[in-house]
Amino acid sequence: MNIQVKETSKSFDQIEVIRHVDLTIMSGEICCLLGPSSSGKTTLIRLMIGAIAPSKGTIHIGETLMPDMKLLNDIGFMPQNNALYEDLTAEDNLKFFGSLYKLERQVLKQRIEEVLKIVELTAHRHKRVHAFSGGMKKRLSLAISILHKPKVLFLDEPTVGIDPILRREIWRQFHQIKQDGTTIVVSTHVMDEVVECDRAALIYNGALIEYDTVDKLLAKTETGRVEELFILAADQQKGGDPR
């Protein structure tokens, strides 16, 4: 499913935190929302999933104008902070969230087996989550977000706070999910992760400063590092250019 964000802005207490964002995310691609902390990435994801409504502009997922409760079963969301029940086992967490999606018993049973295998937690299915490492909690959160086979998957800073080896493994899992045709939107402040994506939206101070395929964005730099584009944007804003 395509995602179309048209001239979207969001204000809180008359302070504009998302400013005139306009982009189209193509179906079946991984799109990275890249930017420093507090740049507006999480707010933009909340707008796209329909958790909050824009102050200006429109957002469509497929043909559906967001927010729309009827589309929730087509959306998967992995928040930055793990939304897990730590006194329950991994399997019981999956059963609980599966019931929220109203998955039939046999379908849910099969999907639990599949997602535990994807995130390599099958051997830990009966362990209570409070005994999990931070990386294991991340992987369980990912399993929950894909349990109902969403058409669009939103991942908010999914690799923050984890070691480089696990980060590489999690990105391998994202690419595996993409192969099933899922559109993936992932936010990160880790600049090197841009190369894992098909397209990247560079967010700075609530504004979209660049949006293109990763190859084309890197071709605009002298060093092949996307940080250059943020430095340029910062210099432009200091000079009075709001975009």
Residue type, 40: G
CATH of the domain at 190: 3.40.50.300
Supply the range of the domain harboring residue 179.
Answer: 3-238
- The set of residues, in sequence order, having a beta carbon less than 8 Å from that of 173 and lying 6+ positions away, is 118, 119, 139, 142
pLDDT over 80 at 238, yes or no? no
* Residue-wise DSSP of 81-147: S----TTSBHHHHHHHHHHHTT--HHHHHHHHHHHHHHTT-GGGTTSBGGGS-HHHHHHHHHHHHTT
- Least confident piece of the model among 21-30, 47-56, 131-140, 158-167: 158-167
* Number of DSSP helices (H) and strands (E) in the chain, helices first: 7, 10
Establish if 173 belongs to a structural domain: yes
pLDDT over 60 at 85, yes or no? yes
Establish if 25 belongs to a structural domain: yes
Establish if 166 belongs to a structural domain: yes
**What pLDDT is recorded for position 224?**
85
Number of folded domains in the chain? 1
- Least confident piece of the model among 153-157, 212-216, 232-236: 232-236
Establish if 243 belongs to a structural domain: no
Q: Tens of pLDDT along 165-176?
A: 888 888 988 998
pLDDT (average), residues 138-157 = 93
Establish if 137 belongs to a structural domain: yes
